[in-house]
Structure formats: C-alpha cells, structure tokens
Amino acid sequence: MSGTSSPLPRRRGLNHRQREALWGYLFIAPWLIGFLCFVLGPMLFSLYASFTNYDITSRFDWVGVQNYVQLLTQDTRFWKALSNTAYYATFAVPLGIATGLLIAVLLNQEVRGQRVFRTIFFLPKVLTGVAVLLLWLWVFNPQVGLINTALYRLGVPENDLPLWFADPVWAKPALIIMSMWAAAGGFMFYLAALKGVPRDLYESAQIDGASSWRQFWAVTVPLISPVIFFKLITGISGALQFWSESLILTKGGPSDSTLFYGLYIWQTAFTDLRMGYASALAWILLLITLAITGVQLWFSRRWVHYEGEVR
Amino acid sequence: MALSRPEVQLRPRSARTGGPRRVSGLLLGRALAFAALVGLSLLILYPALWMVSTSLKPDDQVFAYPPRWIPNPIVWENYARAWASAPFTRYAINSLFYAVSVTFGTVLSCSLAAYGFSKLRFPGRDFLFLVMLSTMMIPGLVTMVPQYVLFSKLGWINTYLPLIVPSFFAGAFFTFMLRQYFLTIPNELLEAARVDGASELWIWARVMLPLATPALATVAIFTFDGAWNDYVNPLLYLNDERLYTLQVGLKFFQDANNVQWQLLMAASVLVLLPVVLIFFVFQKYFVEGATLTGSVKG
C-alpha cells in the first residue's frame, strides 16, 4: 500500500461495525449455502422420505412409521448389519487407539532414526483406496497370502489356517487387522500431545518410586486424555460408518458376515431403490451416533483432563 | 519379592542423582523401543513391499511356494501390460481432473469461511460456528441418499458436477482446521492493513493466505488424497465408462480379468505412485497438519 492510495470507496450509511458484519456473512456464505443445500435440506428431505415408500421414480406415499416398525421388528438383516457394525467398532476403535498410542510412546523415547520411522508409520495414512484394499485381498489369500504363509511357518497346521474373507467367522477379524494397520498413521496425534507433557512430572513420579507402567497410567494418560477422547469420538463415529471396504472386498459376504450398516443402506437405496426405507435406516444411524456421542460427552467429565480447567 | 524391595528404595536415589543405574536403564529402554519400532516398521512395510514384489514377478512365480521376495527375472513389462489392459490413461486424466478441482474448491471455500469465522465479528457468529461443528457428527450416510436424489433431479448424473460442486461450499472439518490456524495469526497485522484502507477480501488474499501456507497445504494434500482415492462417489454418479476414475477402473479391472495378481499389483502401484510422491515432497506439511488437528482440545 503506497501512501498516496486513497482508502477504498466505502458504502454510505454503514458504520464500521455493520460493514464488518456484512463482510463476515459474505465470507461464510459458501459454508452457509452449502449447509442449507447439502446438509440441512437433504436431512429434512431424508426425514420426510423415511415416512414414505419413496423409490425415486413415482412412488412417494406417506406410510407413517411403517418403515421404522418393519426394520425394528421384522428385518433380520437390519439387526445383522447393526451387530456386525457394533462388533467392528468394539474391536477396531480401542485396538486402533492402542496401536497409535504405542507407536507414539515408542517414538517419544528419542530413539535413532526418528524421521525414517515417522515416514514409515505415516505411510498407511497415505496408502489408501482400492489399490491397497486389493493388496489386502492378496495378503489374506488363504492359500498363498502372506499371513497364512507366516502362520504356517509358525507351526499352525494347514487345516487350521483361517480362510479369512472366505469364512464368516474370520472375515470381520481380517477387516479389524486391516484397520489396525491403517490406524498406525494416527500416532502423529498422540505424539504431538506426548511432546506437551512436562518432563518434571515424570521426574517427580520417579522420585515417588512410580514404575514406568504406573507413570504411563497416572501421568501420561490423564495429560493426553483430550486427544484420546477426540480420537474416541471420531473413531466410533467413523467405525459406525465403516462400509465401503466391504463393498470393495466382500460385497457383504460370506453369509452377510461383513454386511455393515452403511453397506445395507447403500444396497437398500441404490440396488433395491427403496429410498424411503434407506432413509429410515440412515436416521436410525444418526440417532445411534448422537446417543453414543452424548454418552461419551457425559462420561468424559470423569476422565478427560483439560489443562488449566477450573473445576 | 525379596529382591524387589531394595530396588524400589534404590530408584528414587538414583533418579535424584542421575546415577549410572538410571543411565543404563534409559539406554536399555531406548534399545527396547528401537527394537520394537523396527519390528512394527516391518509389519507396516510388509504388505507394501509384497505389492511391489508381486508386481515384478513372471507369471509362474506369482503363486510360488515358499513365496519369493525377489523375482527372477524381474519383469518390468508387467507395468506396461497392466496399464495397457484397460484405458488407464483416460482414467488417470479423469482422476487428476476430479482431484485438482475438488482441491481448488475446498481450499478456496474453506479458507474464505475460516477467515469469516476467525477474524470478523458479526451477529450470530458463535451460534453458526457451533452449528458447523455439530454437522461434523452427522454421518455422511444420512445425506448420501437425498443428495443423490437432488443431483439426479438436476440431471447431473453421469457428470462430474455432483463430485466437484459440493467442494466449493466449505466442508466443516477443514474450515474448522483452518480457523484454528488463522486464530494464531496476530490481529495487529490485519489492523495495519485495514488502516491502510485494504478491503477484507484483499487482506484475506494478501495477508492471510500467504501466512497460512502450511495449513492450506495440509488441507490441499489431504483433500487431493481423499479425492484421488475416492471410490464410492465416482461409482455412484458415473456410469459412462469414459468418465471412470482410476479407483473405479482398478476395481473393474480386477472383476474382469479373473485376477492376474502380478498385473493388478502393478496397476495398483502406478495408481498409488502420485500420492506417495506428493507425500514425500510435502512430508513436513503432513506432519504439521496432523499436529494441527491433533492439538485440538475437546
């Protein structure tokens, strides 16, 4: 800005405060329009559609709560999908957090080769998409896959080797192992938090004779609890929406063992074209997500520790 | 038990004095940590190396038992064969178009909204911000069906519009992330520009964006990665084979050729290559971005 440039022409009749407010609304307009067109509008439509037999072409009759009653009382696949999703979330979320935290704690030891390790552990965050899922299909191949080859070498008899994606019992564990690999990249979140834990707290814990394990639970975990809590909330919400992997890898099989909730919505909406019923399914998922988040927020007051918070 | 008691008494003393016992304990701890990290790294790299190894194998060594890690001979032609076995060049152009457009739209709209939410005062701002935060808890599956209906009524099926247009309307997560970063930039800088008569748009473009390059780069990389690897949305909206992206092409390639693993792995490596390159070039931004989102408290 040169000294001679005159201030930009200003609107008459608007004071400083009003002008700033106008700019403010202009700047957030993209989000606001997007919120109305792609979030709020669709949600209201979806809520209305869930009380109809909408099929995207002609039918759009009000059927009341029929969809909800049907899926809660008669639809065995709904319960199957829900329990598959709960199974996945129960194991994948804690194991994922443990994996990320373990790597972060190890990296926090000032070991050699930090940069190399960080790069390697971040790779799973980068390597995603169909290519990597197809790789897992190959890794879990019952005959020639890496995992079964390794298990065989470790002495597991050939007949006891898991069939992974071909076996209803082992398909979900295979997906959970995959998710742990992917969760390794989450170490960054915890490492950033670990770096913020004051050293002298460990010193005083050592003077009190606390073991490393005890120091971890009494000092480290409380101080990084906000990050763990954040990962727990987003992790559970993400796990409830875990499904596209099964669309690509297993199409929900074998015998619906990987029919996750999202896949069931996808099939109902876009294969069977039962948009009304799918909307009801989606709203049940929304209610479950909100309920779980609410419960977590409630419990978080007991264990999440915010620095400088006045209690 | 008898042995452990003196140890408990010893530890505080050596901790205070920083004696030899503590030093050797630390060294042992670091050696163990190092060994554990090497082991975990191998577990992480194992599948990725296997992918590269398989992609270079002659046809008869793919199913060899015990598995061979280093193929003999190394078949580089697999890559050319894989690329030629489907219209991958076209898919690659489509993927690039999709990912670059979405990245541009996201960085533009999210940085605008983030500036509004972080540096300008207007009635209802805090309420709207809260609304934005709460939308992050809404599962994408709830809006997937109605959005599809909307785009199909607009006649946008089989075009790139449903994939690209929404990115110009500031998603909550990246807007939130950028806002957190913008808050760390001192207001004095903006005030100085305002005194000079600069408009807010000018300040956003010439003061804010240059100062926020690391955060913008993080958003750009994550968005590009997400769009490049997106499978569900292209599958849903694009039926015309000429519009397929690499992800959709790769999946159909697998279904069609009763799985020639060496070719599939070669194609997969090629599809992953751009994001891996971006990762290595912009690594420091990835790290910074993770720290940014990681330091979010509550």
B4-17 and B20-55 are packed helices; what angle lies between their axes, rounded to 10 degrees?
A: 90
Distance spanning both ends of chain A, measured CA to CA: 49
Whose tokens are 């709904």? That residue is: A78
Instruction: Tell me what pLDDT residue B229 has.
Output: 94
Residues of chain A in contact with residue B232, where contact means CB-CB under 8 angstroms, are: 244, 247, 266
How many angstroms separate the CA atoms of A194 and A228, rounded? 11
> H/E/C letters for each residue in chain B?
CCCHHHHHHHHHHHHHHCCHHHHHHHHHHHHHHHHHHHHHHHHHHHHHHHHHHHHCCCHHHCCCCCCCCCCCCCCCHHHHHHHHCCCHHHHHHHHHHHHHHHHHHHHHHHHHHHHHHHHCCCCCHHHHHHHHHHHCCCCHHHHHHHHHHHHHHCCCCCCCHHHHHHHHHCCHHHHHHHHHHHHCCCHHHHHHHHHCCCCHHHHHHHHHHHHCHHHHHHHHHHHHHHHHHCCHHHHHHCCCHHHCCHHHHHHHHHHHCCCCHHHHHHHHHHHHHHHHHHHHHCHHHHHHHHHHHHCCCC
To the nearest whole Å, the CA of A215 is away from the closest chain B CA by 14
Q: How far is B42 from chain A (nearest CA, A)?
A: 9
Residue B239, token pair as written in the block: 């039926």
What single-letter amino acid sits at A227?
Answer: V
Residue B20 is predicted with a pLDDT of 57
Is B175 in contact with B219 (CB distance < 8 Å)? no
CB-CB under 8 Å, A285 with B139? yes
Three-class SS of residue A28?
Answer: helix
Residues 6+ apart with CB under 8 A from A310: none
Using a CB-CB distance cutoff of 8 angstroms, which residues of chain A are in contact with residue B43?
181
- Give the mutation candidate from B16, B46, B145, B229 for the A interface (greatest A CB count, under 10 A): B145
Q: Which of A96-110, A192-206, B167-181, B273-287 has the lowest mean pLDDT?
A: B273-287
Identify which of A186, A222, A212 has the alpha carbon closest to the alpha carbon of residue B30.
Answer: A212
pLDDT at A250 over 80: yes
Distance between CA atoms of residues B198 and B97, nearest Å: 35
**C-alpha–C-alpha distance, residues A82 and A119, integer Å:** 36
Closest CA–CA distance from residue A231 to any residue of chain B (Å):
9
Extended strands (E) in A91-211: none
Residue B30: which of A23, A43, A109 has the nearest Cβ?
A109
pLDDT at B114: 97
Residues of B in contact with A146 (CB under 8 A): 46-47, 50, 67
Distance CA A43, CA A35 (A): 10
Q: Which of B142, B232, B293 to mutate to test the interface with A (most CBs of A within 10 A)?
A: B142
B23-33 pLDDT, tens digit per residue, is 666 777 788 88
Average pLDDT, chain A: 89
**pLDDT digits 0-9 by tens, A199-232:** 888 888 888 888 888 888 888 998 899 899 999 9
User: Helix, strand, or coil here: A55?
Assistant: coil
Distances from the Cα of B281 to the Cαs of A114, A119, A200, A242, B276, in angstroms?
18, 12, 37, 30, 9
pLDDT above 70 (res A161): yes
**Total beta-carbon pairs less than 8 A apart between chain A and chain B:** 303
pLDDT of residue A238: 93
| Contact by Cβ (8 Å): B109, A211 | no
Cis peptide before B66 (omega within 30 of 0): yes
Sequence-distant (6+) residues with CB within 8 A of B29 are A109, A212
Q: What is the mean pLDDT of residues B109-121?
A: 96
User: What's the whole-model pTM score?
Assistant: 0.88
CA angle B115, B117, B119 (to 5 degrees): 55
User: Scanning the structure block, which residue is given the tokens 């042995």?
Assistant: B3
Interface of B with A in 213-242 (CB under 8 A): 225, 228-232, 236
Asked whether the beta carbons of residue A33 and residue B142 sit closer than 8 angstroms, the reply is no
| Cβ-defined contact of B298 to A304 (cutoff 8 Å) | yes
